[in-house]
Amino acid sequence: MGEQSVPRMRTIQQAADYFKEQDPETQVTFWKLRGLVLKGELPYICSGKAGKTKYINLDVVINYFNGSSLNRETKKVVKFDGKIRKTV
């Protein structure tokens, strides 16, 4: 079987900071990423005590801005409270 890599999960702010570090003149901001998450354009998982912290896969975000479209299967939202759960 092929080897799977560990997903680079980041908060929305960390992802925005990554883009700013790679390209200081980027137009990809916290608010742009947050809007895409809230509109359902980017998949995310929730974590934290109240489940308010949203984590996005950095590689998925990079592919999104490179023009790769997301299929519907990757747009699942999973709440994570420290326990492993099945996703449907």
The domains of the chain are located at: 9-79
CA distances from 62 to 32, 53, 57 (A): 13, 20, 9
Question: What is the per-residue pLDDT across 32-83, written as a single tens digit (0 to 9) for each?
Answer: 999 999 999 999 999 877 888 999 999 999 999 998 765 544 445 555 555 5
Alpha helices in the chain (DSSP H): 12-22, 30-38, 58-65
Query: What is the chain's Cα-based Rg?
Result: 14
Closest CA to 64 of 19, 5, 1: 19
Neighbours of 10 (CB within 10 A): 18
Q: Are 81 and 47 in contact (CB under 8 A)?
A: yes
pTM: 0.72
